[in-house]
Amino acid sequence: DRNESGKAVGVDLLEVSKGVKLDGLPEPETIKKILVGLGLKVS
């Protein structure tokens, strides 16, 4: 289950990075740091 959820998170990150475009959105590296801070694994 954890491996599947990890893959799902990766897919979600791709969808978010492609689908969400807002003015002032943090750079990808900053977003990754935030997600890691929330306890998510970022590949």
> Which own/partner contact pairs does 37-43 have at CB distance under 8 Å and 24+ positions apart?
40/9, 41/6, 41/9, 42/9, 42/10, 42/13, 43/6, 43/10
Task: Work out the average pLDDT over 15-27.
Answer: 63
pTM higher than 0.75: no
Q: What is the domain partition of the chain in residue ranges?
A: 2-37
Instruction: State the chain's mean pLDDT as an integer.
Output: 68
Answer whether residue 41 shows pLDDT above 50.
yes
